[in-house]
Chain A
């Protein structure tokens, strides 16, 4: 826009007026956005600086950063951070590989393409909580069809590592279709001619995939990974339904919920919410730093 405002003086004023009008037209929407997103965020930050337990309304007080000290030195919190990190890294990694395979299948399928795509997308269309209950009952001894395959007496959801495994499986099952959908859009960006040229030069299928398809798809892969990582860091519903944080399987969102809603401790709970918010904000920064070269819009100069 700035580039266009360099004409004559009259034109410049016209452009300025137009811009001002634009701001005015945007103002109501901007104001609403500020109210509905800005205020809750600010309110959480304010709560996080207070000792505020609903059960002790008289003991409410401003205590600076003490809540942050409490949370950041707490073993339960760091356990939740570790659980969140493990679930995020493992599930996103599996989703990327599986999603890519499914995307290739969907893209290359010659027969019943619509049917294949619809079938792949079904898990994504099921409400997460409903799916999570499905998994929960499937693994419950006595009622579940999956629990029947296990040795008698085992209850995987009541032990830590099996429960985390089931949480990851539920996550992967649910969100791989999303990943494959994004990656399929990326596959469409790879020109058929390039692939044919590579084939003419004697590149094998694997070499074409690794040396032609992947580099051309890099921005899409970057976006897909970023989306899914941001989602996975906030994981809540699968864990809430499957274990509700028992056996040290709380994610950061679950532990924040427990302190806010069950514990009625608005100070500690808000502190955790703010930390989750900061954590989610850090993810894109890390992504750009680590995978910067392939970030969309970063490779224009090359």
Chain B
């Protein structure tokens, strides 16, 4: 428990007695304590590690003018670990959380459980103002707004123009390019996230969407799959058995894909835009020939996966007013600009794409905005965690996919997961 500096004489004594009362009443729940009599209410922000977030927090604290003070708490690096800490504390009614940085796939789960507050009135209007439609949709559940979009993300096709002169628009086009490169004895692998984790689900989801379908019905209550899923499974199997497949495909995550291309093993990769800055830093020689193109599809350009993060306010927050205001500041255009330019997180507010510094940090910003128009969100359901886990297990390894059989397995396991009847592996 930290003692806050109190203004004026006698402040320290007031803080100390407040601290004592607090310790007695809530048994050591540190956050919020001591914020009563002296000093502004403390808003505890829990967010994934982000290098320059402290700068954004500092700016907001300055703007708050004593209305609140944001305290930055950093969650673990892994998304599963972040979610685990948040849901465990929310399930216990922990009052130490105020503003939560959420992955776009958690909105439904936390809203359905009643752990995050609905945004209403002027706050909601301010969030909707100028925000891109796709990220805004990830923050809504059953028509209500439950979070404020902070950053967004899309995957693109990243390729070496010395190996692939004109980028194909489809997966079959990519496989044909790989076959040609393999015949010519040049680097031929296409790096995709084929390991048994969320990245594999993202790949499948985008393929199903590109084939015109979805994993779940729009209301999120039933399994859809069907013919588009069969198409998607056929493409995944073909890709995993083609010359395009790196032997370590079934272990490849985002970073492995990036490294394989930087090392010269891969001719192209399907990945998030962070690979561009990395290429500039690690392989400046190759960077000049490192280009981007839209996400590949089945018959023409595909629908890219949609990533990103949103801010929500905990139901158990003791300063909800201050928390909503703090969240609004943390995702206002200037905050998003800092996050975009300094930390490489694409903004959710459309106007920020034209802000100073963006052209240099985001030469691919047009491609990102285009992809956002058609990006495929992941299924919206409170049981997304279960759906994703069983999907990844069923699809791994991709070369063993047997479209009709895998589709049947998916239908039964996802159906159970939706009912929270099934067992997680």
In the bound complex, do residue A53 and residue B248 qualify as a contact, i.e. CB atoms below 8 Å apart?
no
**B83 / chain A contacts, CB cutoff of 8 Å:** 262
Tell me if A295 counts as interface (CB < 8 A to partner B).
no
Question: Chain B interface: which of A13-21, A111-119, A125-133, A263-271?
Answer: A263-271
Tell me if B113 counts as interface (CB < 8 A to partner A).
yes
In the bound complex, do residue A264 and residue B195 qualify as a contact, i.e. CB atoms below 8 Å apart?
no
Which residues 81-97 of B have a CB within 8 angstroms of A? 83-84, 87-88, 91
**B197 / chain A contacts, CB cutoff of 8 Å:** 246
Complex formed: what's the CA distance from A81 to B87 in Å?
28
Q: Which residue of A lies closest to B110 (CB)?
A: A55
In the bound complex, do residue A76 and residue B425 qualify as a contact, i.e. CB atoms below 8 Å apart?
yes
Render B109-122 as a binary contact track against A, CB cut-off 8 A, 1 for contact: 10011100000000
In the bound complex, do residue A57 and residue B386 qualify as a contact, i.e. CB atoms below 8 Å apart?
no
Which residues 198-245 of B have a CB within 8 angstroms of A? none
Complex formed: what's the CA distance from A199 to B383 in Å?
70
* CB < 8 Å neighbour of A259 from B248, B383, B424: B424
Known contacts A53-B420, A55-B383, A57-B113; decide if A262 and B80 are in contact (CB<8 Å).
Answer: yes
In the bound complex, do residue A264 and residue B91 qualify as a contact, i.e. CB atoms below 8 Å apart?
yes
Q: Enumerate 18 A-B pairs (CB-CB under 8 Å) in ascending A order.
A: A54-B113, A55-B109, A70-B421, A71-B423, A77-B423, A153-B247, A158-B195, A158-B251, A250-B425, A261-B88, A262-B83, A262-B385, A262-B389, A262-B424, A263-B386, A263-B424, A265-B420, A268-B423
Looking at chain A's contact residues, is the secondary structure mostly helix, strand, loop, or mixed?
A: mixed
Known contacts A56-B382, A247-B196; decide if A155 and B425 are in contact (CB<8 Å).
Answer: no
Known contacts A54-B113, A158-B195, A265-B420; decide if A153 and B248 are in contact (CB<8 Å).
Answer: yes
Residues of B whose CB lies within 8 Å of any CB of A are 80, 83-84, 87-88, 91, 109, 112-114, 195-197, 247-248, 250-251, 382-383, 385-386, 389, 420-425
Complex formed: what's the CA distance from A250 to B422 in Å?
16
In the bound complex, do residue B382 and residue A57 qualify as a contact, i.e. CB atoms below 8 Å apart?
no
Render A35-60 as a binary contact track against B, CB cut-off 8 A, 1 for contact: 00000000000000001011111000
Q: Which residue of A lies closest to B390 (CB)?
A: A76
**A246 / chain B contacts, CB cutoff of 8 Å:** 196-197
Q: A56-B112, A261-B88, A262-B385 are in contact. List 11 more A-B contacts (CB 8 A).
A: A54-B91, A57-B113, A76-B423, A246-B196, A255-B423, A258-B425, A262-B424, A263-B385, A263-B420, A264-B87, A264-B91
Complex formed: what's the CA distance from A54 to B113 in Å?
7
Tell me if A192 counts as interface (CB < 8 A to partner B).
no
**A76 / chain B contacts, CB cutoff of 8 Å:** 423-425
* CB < 8 Å neighbour of A255 from B114, B250, B386, B425: B425
Complex formed: what's the CA distance from A265 to B422 in Å?
10
How far does the Cβ of A50 sit from chain B's closest Cβ, in whole Å?
A: 12
What 9 A-B pairs come out closest when comparing CB atoms?
Answer: A53-B420, A76-B425, A74-B423, A158-B251, A55-B382, A263-B424, A55-B113, A258-B424, A259-B424
Q: Which residue of A lies closest to B250 (CB)?
A: A158
Interface centre among B83, B382, B421 (most CB of A within 10 A): B421
Complex formed: what's the CA distance from A180 to B24 in Å?
49
* CB < 8 Å neighbour of B423 from A56, A248, A259, A264: A259
**B385 / chain A contacts, CB cutoff of 8 Å:** 262-263
**A56 / chain B contacts, CB cutoff of 8 Å:** 112-113, 382, 420
* CB < 8 Å neighbour of A155 from B196, B251, B422: B251
Complex formed: what's the CA distance from A77 to B83 in Å?
24
Interface centre among B80, B114, B386, B423 (most CB of A within 10 A): B423
In the bound complex, do residue B109 and residue A248 qualify as a contact, i.e. CB atoms below 8 Å apart?
no
How far does the Cβ of B398 sit from chain A's closest Cβ, in whole Å?
A: 14
**A79 / chain B contacts, CB cutoff of 8 Å:** 425
Tell me if A186 counts as interface (CB < 8 A to partner B).
no
**A155 / chain B contacts, CB cutoff of 8 Å:** 248, 251
Q: Which residue of A lies closest to B87 (CB)?
A: A264
Tell me if A99 counts as interface (CB < 8 A to partner B).
no
How far does the Cβ of B410 sit from chain A's closest Cβ, in whole Å?
A: 14
Tell me if A219 counts as interface (CB < 8 A to partner B).
no
Tell me if A245 counts as interface (CB < 8 A to partner B).
yes
Interface centre among A56, A248, A258, A262 (most CB of B within 10 A): A262
**A262 / chain B contacts, CB cutoff of 8 Å:** 80, 83-84, 385, 389, 424
**A263 / chain B contacts, CB cutoff of 8 Å:** 385-386, 420, 424
* CB < 8 Å neighbour of B112 from A55, A70, A255, A265: A55
**B114 / chain A contacts, CB cutoff of 8 Å:** 57
Interface centre among A55, A153, A263 (most CB of B within 10 A): A55
How far does the Cβ of A160 sit from chain B's closest Cβ, in whole Å?
A: 11
In the bound complex, do residue A255 and residue B91 qualify as a contact, i.e. CB atoms below 8 Å apart?
no
**B91 / chain A contacts, CB cutoff of 8 Å:** 54, 264
Complex formed: what's the CA distance from A1 to B208 in Å?
75
Q: Which residue of B lies closest to A247 (CB)?
A: B196
